[in-house]
Structure 1
Amino acid sequence: MSQDQPTALQFAISSFNETYFPTINREQFTQKKSTEYYDTEYKKLTDTDQLHIIVGMDSGLLANYVMSHPLPAGSHYLFVELDEVLDALNIDIEPAYASAMDIISFNQLAQILTQPQYELFFLKNRYQLYLSLGAKHAYTQNYRLLKQQVQLEVEQAAFNLQANINGDSFIQQQLFNACDNIYPAELLRHLTLGADCLVIGGGPSLDKHIDWVKQHQDELIIISVSRAAEQLHHAGIHIDFVVTVDPQQVSFATSKAILNLPLETILINADHAHPALLGQWQGSHFYTGQQLPWRTENNMGITGPTVSNSAVQLAATLGAGRILLLGVDMCWSPTGVSHASGSLEGRLGPFISKIGIWVPTNNAQQAETTVQLSAAITSLEQQIKALPDTDVISLSLHGAKIKGVAFIEPTALKLASLPDKYELLGKLRQRYPAAISGKHHGRHLHQLAQHCRDCQKALQTIFTQAQIALDLSDDAVGHADALARLQQQLDQQFPAQLKLIKFYGYHQFSKFLSTRESDTWQQNQVCNMSRQYYQAMSESCHSLINLLDETLRQITSRQEENRPYPNLSLLAKQWQRHQQSGRIDILLQRHPTLATSLTFGEAQIISRLLQAYRQTMQVPVMTRNNRPLKQWDLLAAEEKLEYLHLIGHTQGLAQMVAAFAALPPSDKAKQLGFRAKSYLYQLEGKDFESHQAIHSMPQHLQQEADIRQQVLISLKTAQVDTATTALEALLPYSDEYAPQLAKLYTLQQRLDDAINCWQQYLQKVPCDSQGWTKLADILLQQGHYQQAKEMYQQAVEVNPDNLLAARQLTQLEQALARSS
């Protein structure tokens, strides 16, 4: 039995007359018919206009199940199977599915996902990844490898194609931020010309050099990403610029500590940054991107996909002579930690729940990273290529190797002389103060409101025209000319607004895009597509008009803050609507006498606002299940452990060994720790240590994978008796272990046990010609000639190409004939 190859594939026939591989599906189809499982497990496989990506075919049964149903309109099926299974199976694709189903190996997957018909499914977010029952349970170990490889490839394809799929959330946050986005970051161009700018990310290398940063902070312009700011602040390091980009709620959860930074720090926020961060920031701030999504302006753009990319762009805009990178590792540490210790992820230790991509590092080693960070590396390389006159230097020995970035130890750096940066930045803050009051702010809000109302008016016109087009779409073919004229008029009059509508309403407009072949479109489908297009336009217009109403309420709220006696009740309602209760501190600073003239009701409002703000600042980072992130998932860690073993990754396994040892004690952590040690020693060629590690595991913790490892390593160390005992313990899990056990019995001359083992196995797997041959050999050795003859006959009957059995049968028949 080999770890990286499944037991030879032998067919079995269930009592339901279904042919399957017991090695892959074991007893799954002996209790009930496969379709009974599938009707429950795979209901979504009949969804229309969907790319169904399925790992494994359950011995072909799942593919046949799919083809037993009418082809769902617009859907495509992509089965990714193990090479050895593809070699053993012959699946005839039904004519109806000929152009809608592909059965491929993993080696073909990357290329096929780039084909246009597949890309459209990703762009529309109409794809789903499934595991066959065999792949889900992974009795055949190579399925563990295959499903992880497929998942990574699909994740990469989706990431590459879905950059604009959530345009609605970006636009929403951009509009909510518009009243606070006053000073464009372009005003900072060449501010610190020739200075050494230190860009600090949240990567693990920050821990190693944070003392160096503290020692040299006066000689550097320090730019920090928002999630690293808390650690720097606690270390006594003054942050000159802090950068935040992401609009998602998790960005506030991981970065809210920036609201505790001193007023001397300057915030650089993307136009769509989370409003709870921007709206509660009390100091000076500059925005990147555009103040309003339909108006263009000359401003520093937003560079992605990570906030570190934007921070590097800021350093370039400032006119850095050199850009130094610390904590911009773009990968995990040598111990597998994903973030610096100042973050929650860093405090949780090595990231053992995620299978990542391995990339080269500055010390010529390998480190794990995510799909997003891999894309960030590519983006950073392009950024640096556009800065030929600026040296970019990484201070992280274990950071990812990036083209155009040199590595230098911080202690070997000679920093450029820097004039008093605090004076320079102080003058900047005086010139561009926190824009919360004054005539300039009032003009800004008035103009902003007018722009929003103008846009609403244009959107209302587009909405009206879309309604007309919807009526015409009932006969889109007959009204083709009228629809073309209407669309041309919209394109000419409202190009900026239409661009906004389509970006914001991407999900609605993606319904108009069809995954069906154009030559199959009927007139009713053309009409339907026209209706979908103008329905999407109508819905997006309506949603944007409502969104602008909320933006106008936000503007009114900011105008109210400028009044000598603001309406606290009105302000509180609006602030809490957008998680901005902390603005009460801004208001009290603007109106120092307000606190002395409060009514009882107003005092209660302020008290509730302050309490709400304190509560939001204490909310922990949540998982996808909306639960506090407290530890990594050990079930996912087990998947990663098996994956690393299958690909022979010693560095990754060493990280897992250390991680399991550091985890809080639990049976699962102990079990995986023993297994990880055995795997690592095995790959290092230390078979005795591997044997000792796996056999040290208490029996009550042992699972099938652990006992299987005992067999493998016992055989490698020639401990046949130990391997036999372990195989006996494996037999209740699956009959696939019986041939190996029978062979060991034979090796130990336990021939009666071997015969009994073969007989029980062959009753369940009668199509194993080699098994019948082995049983016959033992019977022949014991002198049971007639029984041996019958077994050879059975072997030849099952497989006429079994030449060994045929030759033995002929010789035995001749010998019996002579003896009679």
Structure 2
Amino acid sequence: MKNEAKPVVEHLLGPLTSNRFGDRFLFNINRHVFDKVSAEVMFGAQFDDALFKENVLNIIVGTDSGLLPRYIQNKSLPNGARYIFIEPDAVLQALHEHQLLVDLDERIACISLESWAEATTNFKIADYFYINAVRSFNAICAQNDFIEEYSELSWYIAEILSQSYWEHAVQLGQEAFIARQIDNVAENRIPAKLLQNAFSGKTVVLLAGGPSLNDALPWVKLNRQRVVLFAVSRISRQLIAADIEPDFVFSVDPQDISFDVSKEMLNFGPRTTFVCSYHAVPTLLNQWPGQMLYLGERLPWESALNVPNFSGAGPTVTNAALNTAYNFGFKRVILAGVDLCYTRDGFTHAKGSNEALAGPKFNLTSLQVETNGGFMAPTGLDYAQAINSLAMQAKILTAAGCQIFNVSEGAAKIDAVEFRPITEIQLEEQYLDAQKIVAGKVSNVSDEVHYLQKVLAELKRAQYQIKAIARLSAEARRINDAMYSPHGVIENYKDKKKLDQIEKKFKREHRHFSRLVKRFGIRRFIQIAKPYSDAEWTAEEARQLGNVFYDAYKEGAGNLLRLINDAIERVISRQQEHAHDPDFAMLAEQYRKDRSFGRVRLLRQKPVAVLIPREMIPVFDEYERQFVEIINDKDTRHLAIVKEHSNLGFLKHRGGLLFKHKKVEELRDLLVSLDKYQSQDDVAPYRHLISGYLAELGGRSEEALYAYQQIIDGGDVLLEEALIRIAAIGFDEDDKSRADLALQCLSQLNPVYLPLYAEMRRLHGDVMVAIDAYNSYIGQFPQDTLVQMKLAMLYFESKIYDAAEMILAYILQQKPGLEVAISMRQQLLALKTASN
């Protein structure tokens, strides 16, 4: 089978050919790109110095038939730089067969996507991510995409890098998680583990925010009294609109934006218990009016307060909720709204969510997954990873005897999760009072006053330790900086001994807290570290590294100390809420500082409410007003962010890519999605563009031209795209006047098209117009050596030797060693000599 496919692959890639500059390449990958100028000239003009930065990991889609890695190697690799080239499988195999990738430096890897994980691990991509030194490029073959595989590969790599950057940023020290953990310690009083097996053998319905949620809500409402209901916090708005109150609501995200999508949960009544990760966003925890259980540990250091508990790990809120369901003893979990893919018209979340309000998502990739209904649906890389993590989790839980069902036909098909239509779900007859069960399990927990006393003592212990580390790191920094001579030699070994003693104190007296401090200060160290230095450290660099190391300690201690000081203030304010004579001014200041205005509601439910001084009542009334305003505000940062996914600019890009790959069904889906866009006036030119694409793919060129003409008649939007297609149709149908007019209009619209117009005029024998177009372009972009060389060649071919010599002189003045220009000038001299 493999041998049978080989002729097809060879036909796809074309034969191995070479140009007059000695460049060897697979014809159909690069076609005529290197006909007029050498690969070296082309790469120099295209990438300039961007590929030659020190201490950078360069990810490049395509190798230009192996020419680009060879070009980089011949130019000399910068210190600390690494290169990973990615090719489609068939291309990579052909390049190896033709020996176009031989004898490459070990700092250059050429791989297929299958080897991505191994190559990036070997080249320490994590270290480069930490110093923000991962760069991605498309080779010229990937920009042209003649074989129609590079665009999708490029898109996929962009998603991988985006997701990986976020993951590595989170992993590095995990400052956000630790900071939230300390912020939340006053609230994280009752561990979720107290409810272990409290619902043994029962059924729970777990609701998430996928598009299928809307289909499930009527059934949920009808059967509300017969199920225990889990809900992720982001669907609280939809549940309130449907008059459904969950038994448990879940949140794990530490980011502030999580409050924007979840804040409506603060309107739930006493029936609902909040289950949160230890690092969930504090504004949800400290304003929650009901019972709350936390997952994970209370503090990020060894402490008696870290009692046994269920894990707070995700990676998603759905994972956390599913794990909690199993730990609570549920033997059957019914998933609804857990889609992990989008609708075919680009909607990512249920109606009523910010994502649905923003409109269909246009920046979809080509990534698709199989659904429970057997059809394919678009998804994102984050969802694809969530599918894998959920599958692994489901396998473990089902092996332990827990049944997991998904009721959505449009949800992603996941291993160990059985699809069962919602109408076939059988429920228990009896009512289960989840609130009563929770109350019974947490009744013996120590009261809040006693808990706050223990927390305050632990925070003060940590405060003492961190202050000591800050003092030691400042002293170590002073010693390290002073013990070197001007020549970088250690002069006083007594100073070195003092440093060793300080290091011992870090490791012995403060070992738990010094590790924590390092995690807070390590970014500063990594920023100046070289993940792959190809040179030895100098003595001066060693001294600087020591300084940075102790500065990182000091900075980490300072950051951690601020968090602990804030936490101490917060705990003291919580104690004031229970005091016989509270300091209400202190409370008001703490609520303002934390933006926890809703905490006034909680305060007014306590016995001390009767002691609120008259002068503080207007302050607290204003806080309550602000709280209501914040909860009801729909114009949030999150809505602004998700609207960007519906940006029509993404639609233009996606439509063009689908057209290039002849994805007719996806283009039709895109056209349908436009019907659901809020501003139909704005979307009109995009509708014409997609309609034109579909007409072209259907062989209806007149219909396509009519659609593109509607864009031109309508205004300035998408004019370039329409004119490009009109020119293309003119070329395909040998309608020279139409193609010429379209290219002329394009060149007037955007000077970037002048070389293309010039080339077309050259092909049709109109040399003087071509020369004028080239000169007009060069006048605006005098640094473009590639176009200058094309003009020089046109002068040469047209026997306008003086002009050719002038422009070659200009080129060599900019780039004295450019071989192709030197060679052409030598040919000119030879012609002149022969004619004399």
Of 562, 569, 584, 1:546 maps to: 562
1:368 corresponding residue in structure 2: 378
Counterpart amino acid of residue 589 in structure 1 = Q
Percent identical: 23
Stretch deviating more after TM superposition (549-558 or 399-408):
399-408
CA contact (8 A) 1:645 1:653 kept: yes
Of 589, 599, 622, 1:573 maps to: 589
Give the paired residue count.
731
CA distance in 2, matches of 1:205, 1:280: 30
- Deviation, structure 1 residue 647: 3.8
2:578 corresponding residue in structure 1: 562
- Structure-2 change in CA distance of 1:116 and 1:739 (3 Å): closer
1:583 corresponding residue in structure 2: 599
SS in 2 for 1:323: strand
CA distance in 2, matches of 1:47, 1:602: 60
1:642 corresponding residue in structure 2: 656
CA distance in 1, matches of 2:187, 2:651: 44
- Deviation, structure 1 residue 484: 5.5
Written as runs of structure 1 = structure 2, the 5 A alignment for 1:256-267 is 256-267=263-274
SS in 2 for 1:114: helix
CA distance in 2, matches of 1:454, 1:189: 32
Counterpart amino acid of residue 449 in structure 2 = G
- Gapped runs of 5+ residues in structure 1? 744-753, 777-796, 801-820
- Deviation, structure 1 residue 689: 8.7
CA contact (8 A) 1:674 1:697 kept: yes
Counterpart amino acid of residue 456 in structure 1 = Q
CA distance in 2, matches of 1:652, 1:499: 52
Counterpart amino acid of residue 647 in structure 2 = D
- Structure-2 change in CA distance of 1:760 and 1:61 (3 Å): farther
- Deviation, structure 1 residue 646: 3.2
1:251 matches 2:258 = yes
Of 553, 566, 571, 1:537 maps to: 553
Written as runs of structure 1 = structure 2, the 5 A alignment for 1:278-427 is 278-295=285-302, 296-355=306-365, 357-387=367-397, 388=399, 389-415=401-427, 417=428, 419-422=430-433, 424-427=434-437
2:198 corresponding residue in structure 1: 191
Counterpart amino acid of residue 558 in structure 1 = R
- Deviation, structure 1 residue 428: 1.9
CA distance in 1, matches of 2:415, 2:296: 27
CA distance in 2, matches of 1:171, 1:510: 19
1:204 matches 2:218 = no
CA contact (8 A) 1:193 1:321 kept: yes
CA contact (8 A) 2:178 2:279 kept: yes
TM-score (norm 1): 0.77
SS in 2 for 1:421: coil
- Deviation, structure 1 residue 333: 1.7
SS in 1 for 2:458: helix
1:699 corresponding residue in structure 2: 712
- Deviation, structure 1 residue 339: 0.5
SS in 1 for 2:293: strand
Of 128, 148, 153, 2:155 maps to: 148
SS in 2 for 1:341: coil
- Deviation, structure 1 residue 668: 5.5
1:611 matches 2:625 = yes
Counterpart amino acid of residue 677 in structure 2 = L
- Deviation, structure 1 residue 678: 3.4
2:816 corresponding residue in structure 1: none
1:659 matches 2:673 = yes
CA distance in 2, matches of 1:224, 1:689: 53
SS in 2 for 1:697: helix
CA distance in 1, matches of 2:285, 2:660: 47
1:810 corresponding residue in structure 2: none
CA distance in 1, matches of 2:230, 2:269: 15
1:805 corresponding residue in structure 2: none
CA distance in 1, matches of 2:639, 2:138: 21
CA distance in 2, matches of 1:650, 1:495: 62
1:8 matches 2:32 = yes
CA contact (8 A) 2:368 2:378 kept: yes
Task: Provide, for residues 794-816 of structure 1, a one-character-per-residue CA deviation record: whole Å limited to 9, x for no partner.
Answer: xxx99x9xxxxxxxxxxxxxxxx
- Structure-2 change in CA distance of 1:453 and 1:763 (3 Å): closer
Stretch deviating more after TM superposition (538-547 or 572-581):
538-547
Of 149, 168, 174, 1:167 maps to: 174
SS in 1 for 2:577: helix
- Structure-2 change in CA distance of 1:220 and 1:60 (3 Å): same
- Deviation, structure 1 residue 447: 0.3
Stretch deviating more after TM superposition (225-234 or 474-483):
474-483
- Structure-2 change in CA distance of 1:434 and 1:232 (3 Å): farther
Stretch deviating more after TM superposition (728-737 or 759-768):
759-768
- Deviation, structure 1 residue 11: 5.5
CA distance in 1, matches of 2:150, 2:235: 39
CA contact (8 A) 2:355 2:639 kept: no
CA distance in 2, matches of 1:46, 1:617: 51
Counterpart amino acid of residue 257 in structure 1 = E
- Structure-2 change in CA distance of 1:134 and 1:355 (3 Å): same
SS in 1 for 2:124: helix
1:117 corresponding residue in structure 2: 124
CA contact (8 A) 1:241 1:266 kept: yes
CA distance in 1, matches of 2:109, 2:757: 33
TM-score (norm 2): 0.75
- Structure-2 change in CA distance of 1:10 and 1:581 (3 Å): same
- Structure-2 change in CA distance of 1:529 and 1:771 (3 Å): closer
CA contact (8 A) 1:55 1:132 kept: yes
1:276 corresponding residue in structure 2: 283
- Deviation, structure 1 residue 544: 1.1
SS in 1 for 2:605: helix
Stretch deviating more after TM superposition (106-115 or 322-331):
106-115
Task: Provide, for residues 255-305 of structure 1, a one-character-per-residue CA deviation record: whole Å limited to 9, x for no partner.
Answer: 000001112100001111111111000100100011111134321112322
CA contact (8 A) 2:519 2:556 kept: no
